[in-house]
Structure 1
Amino acid sequence: MKPFARWTVRLRLTLLYGVLFLGAGAVLLAVTYVLVVHGPPFVKVEPPAAPRLRDVFERPVPVVEPPVQRRAEYLWRFLVASVLALVLMTFAAVGLGWVVAGRVLRPLRTITATVREISARDLHQRLGSQGPDDEIRDLADTFDGLLGRLEAAFEAQRAFVANASHELRTPLTFERSLLEIALADPDAGVRDLRAACERVLTSNQGQERLIEALLTLSRSQRGLDQHEDLDLAEAAQATLGSARAEAAARGVRVEAALAVARTAGDPRLVERLAANLVHNAVRHNVAGGWAHVWTGIDAGRPTLRVRNSGPVIPADQVDALFQPFRRLAGDRTADGHGLGLGLSIVAAVAAAHHAELTARALPGGGLEVRAGFPGDA
C-alpha cells in the first residue's frame, strides 16, 4: 500500500497548517531581509584623538562606512540562520498541527464508530454528544434528529404493514370459511351456493376498496403526476351529491358555502381529498348532526375547510386520526364501511401539494379540518 494513499482529513489539515506556517514565515523572512538590505548603512563612531576643549564643538565627528564585504557576510549569516530557524519551526508546526487536528477530529471518530453500530433494528440509539456547543455538536444533534425521524418512519411502516396484513387477511379468512361451509354441505342447493357466492363477492368488493385506497395513498406519497389549474370549489361540489345522499340516510344535514379558490395540482387527488373529508364528516357524525363545507381564500391561501358535529374527540388524539388504520372508535369498525385510510390519504395529498393541513376537535364534539393550498395558479 502506498504511503498516504488515503488523504484523511487529519492529514490534510496537518499539511494545511504546515504550508500556511511555512508560507507566512517565508513572507516574514523576505520582508525582514529586504528591510535589512535596503536599510540605513552601519555606522561606526570613533572619538577624536586627544581633543582640545575648544575643538569639541568645532570639529565634525568622523563617520566610517563598514566594508562592503563584511556587510554582505553579515547578511548571508542572517539569511542562513533565519531559513534554518524557519525550517525547524515548520517541522514543529506540522507536529503540533497533527496533534491539534487529532483532538479536533476525535468527536467525529466517535460519531463514526457509533453510527457504524446502528442498524434498522436499533434505531433507538443516539449519539448524545456532550461536547462544547460548536459545529460538531450541531452535527451530532442533527444526526440524532435524523435517527429519530427514521425510527418513527420505520415504526409507522411496521405498523402499516401489520394493519394492512390484518385488513386483508380477515376478509380472506371469512371468504374461505364461507366457501368451505358451502362445499362441505352435501345438501346445499343452487340457492345456498349462490348466497355464499354473493357474500364472498360483497367481501371481495371491500378488499377492492381497501386496495384502491392503499394505491391512492401510495400515489399521493410519491408526489404529483399532474400539475393543472383547478378550483377547490369545483372539487368539493363534485362530491357533495353522493355525500348528501349518504347524509340523508344517516340523518345528517350537509351545508356548503363554496367560493372560488384556485390553485394548482392533481385534480384527481384533490377531488379525493375533498371526498374523503366530506364523507368522513358524514360517517363520523351523530343522528341529527350537521356537516359544513367551505371553500375560499383564508390568510391568502386557497382553502378547503370541513366541519362536522359528532362525538367528542380528545385533543391529544386528533393527530393520531391521520395515521393509517386509525378510526374514531377503536382500531376496527363493525360496519366495515370505514377503512381507516381516509384521513391518511388526506394528509398524503396535502403534503404532495405543499398544503397546510390543520385539524382541531370542536368543543361540543366533532372535528374541523382545514387544508390551505399554495396561492393562485
Structure 2
Amino acid sequence: MNRQPGLSVRLKLTLSYAGLVMVAGVLLIAAVMVAFRLIPPDGVVITVRYSYYEGILRKFLPASGVMLALLLIFGLVGGWILAGRMLAPLSLLTNATRLAATGSLSHRIQLPGRNDEFRELADSFDAMLAQLEAHVAEQRRFAANASHELRTPLAITQTMLDVARKDPNSSTGDLVDRLHAVNARAIDLTEALLLLSRTDQGSFTREAVDLSLVAEEAAETLLPLAEEHDVLLETSGDVAFTVGSRALLLQLTTNLLHNAIVHNLRTGGIVQVEAAEWAEAVVLTVENTGEPVTPELLSTLTEPFQRGAERLRSDHGGVGLGLAIVKRITQVHNGTLSLMARPDGGLRVTVELPRGELGAHAIGKSK
C-alpha cells in the first residue's frame, strides 16, 4: 500500500512529551501569577495592590520565559531519548519482519528483559516464525517427495512404451495390462494428494458423525480385501458422536483399516476396530496383528510417502500417504493420533476426537 510520508512515531512521542512538559510549566506559572494577584503580602493596602502586582510581573515574566524555554529544550531532548529507548524493540521487530519478507525464516528476535507488551509481541513473532519455518520445510519436503512419486509411474510408462515401440512382436495385451496398473497407481496417488490438500485447507461442513457407524461402513467396504488377505475383521463399540466431516472421517477410518489389512500376517491375521465414547472425547481404535515394528519405523509412519518397507507386501502397498492423511484429518478435527507397536507384532492406532455440543445434542435425538 502506498502511503504519504509522515512523522515518525519517535518524533510524535517526543513532541507529545515536550508539549506535556510545556503545558505543565505554563499552568504552574499561571498558578503562581494568580496567587500573587489574589494574595498580596502583609502591609500592602488594597489601593496599591495592582501597582505591586505589575512590579512583580515585570520581574517574574522574563524569568518565566527563560524557564519555559529551558523546559521546552528539556522536554524535546528528554522526550527524544525516552522515546528512542521505549521504541528500540520495535526496530528489532521491523528488521525481523523485513528478513522474513525476503524468505529468511530462521531469524529470531529473542528480546531480552522482563515480560511486557513489547516482549509478548516479540515472543509471539518468534513463535510465528518457528511455525512458518517448520511448515515451509514440511511443504518443500512434501513437494519434493510428491514430484518423485509422480515421476516414477510416468517414467515406467515411458519405458514400457519405448520397449513396445522397439519390439513390434511384443504382446499388446500384456502391455495394456501393465500400463493400466501403472496408470491406476498414478490416479490413486493424485487423488491422495488432492485429499491431503483439501484437508490442509480445512474447508468442509461440520456435522454430527457417529464413529461407530463410520467404522462399520468402512469395514463392510474393505471386507473383500480382508478375505483376500485371509484377515479376520472384527468391529465393536457403542455410539460415539463427534463433530466434523463425515466424508473425511470415513476416509480416515478406511485408511486405517486398509493399512491394518495390508500390513498384517500373511495368513490368519486379525484386525479389531472399536469406537468408544468418553466423558469429553470419542475414541476410534484400530489394532492389527503383523510383523514387529521397530521404534525407528514407528516414528516415521505418519510422514508422507513412508510405506514401512519392513512390513510392505508386494500388492496393495498403497502410495505412502495413508497414515499421513489420517494424521492431517485428525489435526483438522482438533484430535490426537497415537501409534503404538504391539509387543507380539502389529500396530495399535488410536484416534481421539473431541465430543462437541452438537454431538451431545445428536445423541439426545437418537435416543
TM-score normalised over the length of structure 1: 0.81
Cα–Cα, structure 1 residues 301 and 36, in superposed 2: closer, same or farther, change >3 Å?
farther
Task: Name the SS for the 1:230 alignment partner.
Answer: strand
Match status 1:239 vs 2:195:
no
The alignment yields a C-alpha RMSD, in angstroms, of 3.0
**Once the two structures are superposed, what CA deviation does each residue of 1:302-343 show, in whole Å capped at 9, x if it has no partner?**
332323344444557655432211233379875462211112
| Contact kept? 2:36, 2:53, Cα under 8 Å | no
**Once the two structures are superposed, what CA deviation does each residue of 1:221-270 show, in whole Å capped at 9, x if it has no partner?**
11233233332222111111133332333333322223222233322112
Paired with 2:221 and 2:324, the residues of 1 have a C-alpha distance of: 21
Aligned residue runs from structure 1 range 37-48, under 5 A: 37-39=37-39, 41-44=40-43
TM-score normalised over the length of structure 2: 0.83
Task: Name the SS for the 2:222 alignment partner.
Answer: helix
Aligned to 1:220: 199
Aligned residue runs from structure 1 range 55-204, under 5 A: 67-74=48-55, 76=57, 77-78=59-60, 81-82=63-64, 84-118=66-100, 122-130=104-112, 134-188=116-170, 192-204=171-183
| Contact kept? 1:257, 1:293, Cα under 8 Å | yes
| Contact kept? 1:313, 1:361, Cα under 8 Å | no
Aligned to 2:278: 298
Pairing partner for 1:371 from 344, 352, 356:
352
Cα–Cα, structure 1 residues 302 and 71, in superposed 2: closer, same or farther, change >3 Å?
farther
| Contact kept? 2:10, 2:83, Cα under 8 Å | yes
Pairing partner for 1:283 from 236, 243, 262:
262
| Contact kept? 1:259, 1:295, Cα under 8 Å | yes
Paired with 2:37 and 2:292, the residues of 1 have a C-alpha distance of: 93
Aligned to 1:47: none
Task: Name the SS for the 1:322 alignment partner.
Answer: coil
Match status 1:258 vs 2:240:
no
Match status 1:357 vs 2:339:
no
Paired with 2:297 and 2:9, the residues of 1 have a C-alpha distance of: 49
Paired with 1:317 and 1:91, the residues of 2 have a C-alpha distance of: 71
1:81 Cα deviation after fit: 3.5
Count of equivalent residues: 351
1:123 Cα deviation after fit: 3.0
| Structure 1 counterpart of 2:322, one-letter code | G
Task: Name the SS for the 2:305 alignment partner.
Answer: coil
Aligned to 1:13: 13
Structure with larger Rg: 1
| Structure 2 counterpart of 1:367, one-letter code | R
Cα–Cα, structure 1 residues 228 and 118, in superposed 2: closer, same or farther, change >3 Å?
closer
